[in-house]
Amino acid sequence: MKCLVCVLQQMLEETRTFVPTVSELSMYLYCFITLSLLPSGFTMLRAFSHTKGRCVLHHAKRWQHRKSVLAIRREDVNAWERRAPLAPKHVKELTKMGYKVLVQPSNRRAIHEKEYIKAGAIIQEDISEASLIIGVKRPPEDKLIPKKNYAFFSHTIKAQEANMPLLDEILKQEIRLFDYEKMVDHKGMRVVAFGKWAGVAGMINILHGLGLRFLALGHHTPFMHIGMAHNYRNSSQAVQAVRDAGYEISLGLMPKSVGPLTFVFTGTGNVSKGAQEMFSALPCEFVEPHELKEVSRSGDLRKVYGTVLSRHHHLVRKRDGQYDPADYDKHPENYISRFHIDVAPYTTCLINGIYWEQNSPRLLSRQDTQKLLVPVKSATGATDGCPELPHRLLAICDISADTGGSIEFMTECTTIDNPFCMYDADQHITHDSVEGSGILMCSIDNLPAQLPIEATEYFGDMLFPYIEEMLVSEGSEPLEKQNYSPVVRDAVIASNGSLTPKYQYIQKLRESREQAQLLKMSGEKRVLLLGSGYVSGPVLEYLTRDSNIGITVVSVMKEQLEQLTEKYRNVTPVHMDVLKHEEKLSSLVKNHDLVISLLPYSAHPFVAKKCIDHKVNLVTASYLTPAMKELQESVEAAGITVVSEMGLDPGLDHMLAMECIDKAKEVGATVISYTSFCGGLPAPEHSDNPLRYKFSWSPQGVLLNTVQSATYLKDGEIINIPAGGALLDSVTPMDFFPGLNLEGFPNRDSTKYAEPYGIQTARTLLRGTLRYKGYSRTMGGFVKLGLINPDPYPLLSSTTPPLTWKELMCKLVGIKSPAEHHVLKEAVFSKLDKDKSQLEAVEWLGLLGDEPVPAADSIVGALAKHMEMKLPFGTGERDMIVMRSEIGLRHPSGHLEDKFIDLVVYGDNKGYSAMAKTVGYPAAIAAKMVLDGEITAKGMVMPLTKNVYGPILERVRAEGIMYSTRSIIKQ
């Protein structure tokens, strides 16, 4: 029988009269009604999936959706992720229907690319033409393509903190997100999931883990011959290994002193069924939960026992001890679990496959587990060689991997690399081992990835019927115009830049979680740390020594945030750009007692204004700039303390100077000269580049310092050095540490410190920067070439075609691009006044090559990004801080004294850099002093008074920051 479209086409094309039969007319009528009722052409896939319906689908698709392209993206978040959302057989069906399918290349994917090619897919990196991009796990934020349809497991529906930056980016890029987890039928049951294979892999893993745990407890068991799930080519091989172990069990080869083994499966869904399917390869007997007590004591050692636990087996209402399923669905908070009383004491291994919902009772708490860790008396008696078990409950396989969920103390998932840990309920600690006290835990959150081919085919079978309706729509189109089926429509988390109505609760969950975190800190002193760069480590390390200090760290650097959160306790991360989220920053400042800003100095006035608004104290390590000084009256009116210049330079240099100056004044001496030079440098053995420099703080700040103006006092004469690079002509050798071969140049306006230091009598007043000899000459070459230019340079914008360094240099030296290398080199050499060392530095940095110039607002900004990549500290390399202050004194007797203060600090190979220590610890100590009421002055505070610098200098010495002083008396 022909389809309706074919009939119409034949009637138009043929001159003869075409008369359909009665049966054909009936079929055509059915097709017409079906097409008019079903959403667009996509559900024809389900309605006409058999042979007779293919022609209708073909024509509808050809008319309406011939341009739709599907892309299967590469999985790149986890090294073990070898699955795909569709198998080649599904791709073949799609290509038969005329759709173009792109597959990103991946050597990690378990199904080889050639299988997808055979199915009609195109292997290519660029997937931007696709209207629907599908994967298994989340893509990195920086690889999202705006205004596309995406489908993957987003793990955002509970406002999971780790994935909120991803959701923010999806909203920002106006992406339509379909989440497999929310594709459910009319009963709320998931229709697209890997559940069965999570259960299968989880069961294999925990049998392997039990073999290791039993061995650690002194027992060889047949489980020792079962490996991890990924060690098998497929599940059939794993089943055979489990059967082999089961055969040994049936022969009575389990140690008698361990007693009968009992396995409890929670849940009745696909996860639990998959685990039970693998368990059934053992000689097993399933019993009711109330029978566990008996079989755990006197069961047959030639078999293992299993039970499937449903809600009615362990949940009871608090007031009457009954279970009412309808009432539980409405009021789960009115129920408690008796699992720890009625079931857990007789359980060897718990296989948990249930997800926990807010307000519902947990299956096991820490307190419950403590009561379960009691010795088991063996019926056969125990000896040294045949020990008893330390307790009945030996292992938990939490296949749900729901952190902080039904298993309260499962707060962090294990991994395929490190699948097991031990939970000690008495100490409430976990340790990565199968030995020691506690319960063996396995809670891998990507179990199906261990059996990737079968999992892909299984998942693809479930997803395939819904692919077409997601595929035929454009992500940029309004959601309300899409005629999705309920299954697909209800899985749309975000679209057109907003959360869909069903998922707007996610934002409320985020806000309530943040509020809860702040409330948790309400009994603590609350610190808001802005920035997560080099210096933040020592700040956090110092402040978190006090358990009564809770810290919120805000940063745009997600990876750094994650590392800091893992390393330091009592730290709450917030991933955001402070300067772009003014309202959110204001809310955060309001809920803290003190703010520490490690942001660039230009951001401090912005932060300070928020602190003034909410009367919150502030500490920074940066200079007290004119913009900050303008806030003096507002700070005083708000009654808050703003501590500035609390780092190294400025910071420790002030404190060391004032300690010496105050002591001199105590004996009636006057200061006649003050000179101080400081520099952050690579240790000598790591200064192996043309600049003799590597970056441990802001590269752009380092570069701009070389073109700043400077003012200082020399023998009573004020010396002014104009901006633009003249500073580099004022370099002088520094011979106080001859082996270091240092040079120095003036830094900013030194004369302004005469009054705050109280040394108006000084005839020489100079503060400067230290570098290795050769640095200034090299930087002078960059100045000549116009590379240290902070002015806006639109050609380097991210919205313009990228330039290469070769092209940029052609523009800077005034020759036409493209130019031959030798022509450009000669032009640059001329611009450098024939200075060979400067040319060598330019070539060493690759500035005459084809490497792209980083996008930036200015040329110096681009050079800073380039240098940060070219001149970082490598693994095992360390930096160094060198500071030398010389203070000339005249005593009442008339004799002269020169005071020398030396500070030399090296970074730790595996710890903090010298720069991080010498900036971070003073800032953290000052913050703690403000919190503890040791610094009480209101207004702008600098470390120039003894009550401030005295305690800080004492405490930095305790952190290993040592300095020395010596004197030379002149007659």
Continuous H helices in 105-163:
113-118
844-to-837, 838, 849, 870 alpha-carbon distances in Å:
10, 10, 10, 10
Strands 896-906 and 732-734: unpaired
Task: Give the integer Cα–Cα distance in Å for 899 and 845.
Answer: 41
Continuous segment of H or E residues that includes residue 822 = helix 821-831
Residue by residue, DSSP assigns 260-279 as --EEEEE-SSHHHHHHHHHH
How many distinct helices (H) and strands (E) make up the chain? 34, 34
Closest CA to 208 of 236, 239, 242, 254: 242
Structure-block tokens of residue 874: 């490598």
Q: Is 879 exposed, middle or buried (0-12, 13-18, 19+ CB in 10 A)?
A: buried
Continuous segment of H or E residues that includes residue 63 = helix 54-64
Q: What angle do CA 537, 543, 548 make, to 5 degrees?
A: 140
**Active-site residue, from 179, 398, 402, 649:** 649
Strands 429-431 and 132-134: unpaired
Q: How many CB atoms sit inside 10 A of residue 293's CB?
A: 14
- Alpha-carbon torsion angle 227, 229, 232, 233, nearest 10: -170
CB 70 within 8 A of CB 94: yes
- What residue type is assigned to position 879 of the chain? D
Task: Give the integer Cα–Cα distance in Å for 487 and 184.
Answer: 6
Structure-block tokens of residue 196: 């069965």
Structure-block tokens of residue 794: 């639109």
The values of phi and psi at residue 368, to 5°, are -60, -45
Q: Is 72 exposed, middle or buried (0-12, 13-18, 19+ CB in 10 A)?
A: buried
Q: Is 326 exposed, middle or buried (0-12, 13-18, 19+ CB in 10 A)?
A: exposed
Continuous segment of H or E residues that includes residue 529 = strand 525-530
Q: SS3 sequence, 694-731?
A: CECCCHHHHHHHCCCCEEEEECCEEEEECCCCHHHHHC
Catalytic (active site) residue 898: no
Assign residue 846 a region (left: φ > 0; alpha: ψ between -120 and 50; beta: otherwise): left
Task: Give the integer Cα–Cα distance in Å for 422 and 399.
Answer: 16
Task: Give the integer Cα–Cα distance in Å for 916 and 535.
Answer: 4
CB 592 within 8 A of CB 552: yes
Provide CB contacts within 8 A for 137, sequence distance 6+: 75, 77, 78, 81, 152, 153, 446
The values of phi and psi at residue 882, to 5°, are -125, 125
Strand pairing partners for 284? 304
Task: Give the integer Cα–Cα distance in Å for 303 and 296.
Answer: 12
Continuous segment of H or E residues that includes residue 886 = strand 879-890
Q: How many CB atoms sit inside 10 A of residue 2's CB?
A: 15
Task: Show which residues are catalytic.
Answer: 649
